[in-house]
Amino acid sequence: MDKSREKQGIRLQKYLAQAGVSSRRKAEESIQAGRVKINGRVVTELGVRVTSEDKVEFDGQKVHQTEHLVYILLYKPAGVMTTTDDPQGRRTVMDLIEKRSARVYPVGRLDYDTSGLLLLTNDGQLANWLMHPRSGVTKYYEAVVQGRVSQEDILLLSQGVELDGIKTAPAIVKLLGTDGTTSRVLLILHEGRNRQVRRMLELIGHSCLDLTRTKYGPLTLRGLRPGQWRFLYEDEVSALQERHELPIRIKRVRSHRRR
């Protein structure tokens, strides 16, 4: 790679992430696996920079830098996979949103049986940051669990319980109600560990019957029913970006102005 190119452009993994191909970390793996070409030549180094003059291919397909950043808020129903492609042919969140001109990707994951708020975007920079543990984005979950949850259970959950040998971070946990057979619990978390809410509840002896994510950072499900989606409003995109101290973008954003 010539020296002048190394000084300009952006790093290949960032270019791929911004184009919505995958997260930056996954893009690094793909580069090292030889799946990426620049101007017809396979590149396996991570430091290489590309400019708009370069032709970048991923698995033989030309990668287009995204002009429109697209942000979609989906009310994921239960019984749908959070993935772009399910090898077992189950329904995915992509089946629920109309074919978009830009490819969007889910930001994080909700389990197959979990419903609620899922953000999808082709803004790789924002998505990667929101999924990073340091972003600490606030997530609200409402769970219906088996049995009567006690105040001691609530205290335990809010102080943190051990999952895979690591204590969960302090959380806000509230008992919303119980009829003696089942209870309704609100959990406000800043973490996003695998099946975290279900495992936390299981650990204190209350298996989860139903789980919904009702809030993600500044975003809520207001106005949507399960299976429905909408573009984010401009002020919601700004709130996500500002809250996370990302540089203000000059690119055109596909979002809606509030009326």
What is the Cα–Cα distance from 83 to 74, expressed in whole angstroms? Answer: 13
- Least Å distance between CB 149 and ligand URA? 16
Is 111 annotated in the active site?
A: yes
Query: Site size for ligand URA, by CB under 6 A?
Result: 8
- Least Å distance between CB 111 and ligand URA? 4
Q: Does 190 bind ligand URA (CB under 6 A)?
A: no
- Least Å distance between CB 79 and ligand URA? 13
- Which of 93, 211 has the CB closer to ligand URA? 211
Within 200-239, which residues bind ligand URA (CB under 6 A)? 211
Q: Does 197 bind ligand URA (CB under 6 A)?
A: yes
Q: Does 49 bind ligand URA (CB under 6 A)?
A: no
Q: How big is the chain by its Cα radius of gyration, in Å?
A: 21
Phi and psi torsions of 53, nearest 5°: -75, -20
Dihedral sign for Cα atoms in the order 19, 253, 221, 188: positive
54, 85, 95, 111: which one is catalytic? 111
Q: Does 198 bind ligand URA (CB under 6 A)?
A: yes
- Which of 16, 127 has the CB closer to ligand URA? 127
Q: Which long-range contacts (CB under 8 A, 24 or more apart) does 33-42 make?
A: 35/59, 36/12, 38/12
Q: Does 191 bind ligand URA (CB under 6 A)?
A: no
Cα separation values, 247 from 22, 114, 243, Å: 20, 33, 11
- Least Å distance between CB 152 and ligand URA? 21
Annotate each residue in 93-112 with x if it binds ligand URA (CB under 6 A) or - if it does not, as one string: -----------------xx-
Q: Does 66 bind ligand URA (CB under 6 A)?
A: no
Tokens of 88: 């077992």
Which of 162, 215, 233, 229 is CA-nearest to residue 193?
A: 162
Q: Does 196 bind ligand URA (CB under 6 A)?
A: yes
- Which of 195, 243 has the CB closer to ligand URA? 195
Q: Where does this chain bind ligand URA (CB under 6 A)?
A: 110-111, 114, 195-198, 211
Catalytic residue ranges: 111
